[in-house]
Amino acid sequence: MSAIWIEDEVQPAARADFKIERETHKLEKRLCRQVGQAIVDFNMIEEGDKVMVCLSGGKDSYGLLDILLKMKARAPIHFDIIAVNLDQKQPGFPEHILPEYLTKLGVPFHIENQDTYSIVKDKIAPGKTMCSLCSRLRRGILYRVADELGATKIALGHHRDDMLQTFLLNLFFAAKLKGMPPKLVSDDGRHIVIRPLAYVAEKDLIRWAEHKQFPIIPCTLCGSQENLQRKQMGAMLREWEKKHPGRIENMFSALQNIVPSHLMDGTRYDFKGLKVTGVASEDGDKAFDEEDYAPPVLPGMQVVKL
């Protein structure tokens, strides 16, 4: 009888647990690998850096801090981390959550209290979106805090899907081929801002937050409408991901594989000064031929030769 119990009931449950554990381990490895790769590819963190990790209480910034702490423990260089939260005094903001979480984690942190909520409410007419003034104020405050803390890098929790959404927003609404950079110099010229989650998919951050049970603080406390166009871009990307596997990955790779000679920006490529070289090139442009767009080969897919 006990053998039947073990065979039929206990073992499948144990197998399911083992599968979840293995998947979680794979997820952790992937997150660390992708963050490590982004750090190396864009030289985001250097010896002696003090990285100010901006923590909002959302899943992305929790994930960023969590993975950066793992990277710090195993990195070949020394760098410091300080977590910073800007308490904007939104109604109902649970101000005890982050200090408790960070104290338990043993991470140095700073909570900056600034009532930007009242300023924004005062200046913006009811019903109008408050986000642009709110984020401008937040940016200025975080730059000042970075100076005061002696931070050499400011790390933000934007991920691959944020970057693709920004790229599409610029394409559709601002008529620009422009995305969200993994590393930049701030507009005041004094800070290096980094996005170590640049290669990380949002769905992985959602799973990681569930696994780690981060104490998420809702991002709707200000009562402002979320950016509707960004939400639409996100929905479109998720739809594509379902219907056209590989498209999102290809779009993201395209951001790292730009061919200015095949776009139309005369400031990036000297079309006016173009001259014949007289030398044939295997990689040269075959202007009359239709390109061969092979479908992406995804893990688990077989290439069928006809």
**Residues of the shown chain interacting with ligand SF4 in the complex, contacts defined by CB under 6 A:** 130-131, 134-135, 222, 224
- Measured from the CB atom, is 34 or 224 closer to ligand SF4? 224
Q: Which helix (H) or strand (E) holds 86?
A: strand 80-87
Residue 95 beta carbon to ligand SF4: minimum distance, rounded to whole angstroms: 15
Query: 232: phi > 0 → left, psi -120 to 50 → alpha, else beta; which?
Result: alpha
- Measured from the CB atom, is 57 or 182 closer to ligand SF4? 57
Residue 141 beta carbon to ligand SF4: minimum distance, rounded to whole angstroms: 12
Residue 144 beta carbon to ligand SF4: minimum distance, rounded to whole angstroms: 18
Residue 290 beta carbon to ligand SF4: minimum distance, rounded to whole angstroms: 46
Measuring CA to CA, how many Å separate 274 from each of 90, 91, 152, 269?
Answer: 57, 60, 43, 9
- Measured from the CB atom, is 64 or 130 closer to ligand SF4? 130
- Measured from the CB atom, is 41 or 226 closer to ligand SF4? 226
Alpha helices (H) along the chain:
2-5, 11-41, 59-74, 97-105, 116-123, 131-149, 160-173, 202-212, 228-243, 247-254
- Measured from the CB atom, is 71 or 134 closer to ligand SF4? 134
What letter would DSSP give residue 9?
A: I
Residue 115 beta carbon to ligand SF4: minimum distance, rounded to whole angstroms: 13
